[in-house]
Amino acid sequence: MLESFGFASFLRQKTGGQAFPQMIFSHWAPLAGNPLEAGSPAYTQVLAVRERKGLKGGLPVLGDYYDKL
C-alpha cells in the first residue's frame, strides 16, 4: 500500500494527464507471529511502522502511560 502513494501523479505526469489509475483495495492479510515477541514478522512490522511514524524504538511499556500521581 505504501508503494502506491505518488503513483497517480507520476502516471498523470508521464501520460500528459491522459491516464488515471483506479485502485481497489483487495484484502487484509494477518501477519505471522506475535507482535509482542521479538524476532517475529509481526514484531518487525510493528517496529518498522513505529520508525516510519517517528515514534521511539521498541514497544511502549505500562510505565510510559501510568500516572504516578
Tens digit of pLDDT for each residue in 18-69?
Answer: 887 787 778 888 888 999 999 999 999 999 999 999 998 888 888 888 887 7
Asked whether residue 12 carries a pLDDT value surpassing 80, the answer given is: yes
Query: Of the candidates 27, 28, 61, which has an alpha carbon nearest to the alpha carbon of residue 45?
Result: 28
| The pLDDT value given to residue 18 | 87
The answer to whether 21 touches 7, Cβ cutoff 8 Å, is: yes
Q: Is a pLDDT exceeding 60 seen at residue 1? A: no
In the DSSP assignment, the letter for residue 19 is -
**Cα(59)–Cα(61) distance, rounded to whole angstroms?**
7
- Say what the pTM is: 0.58
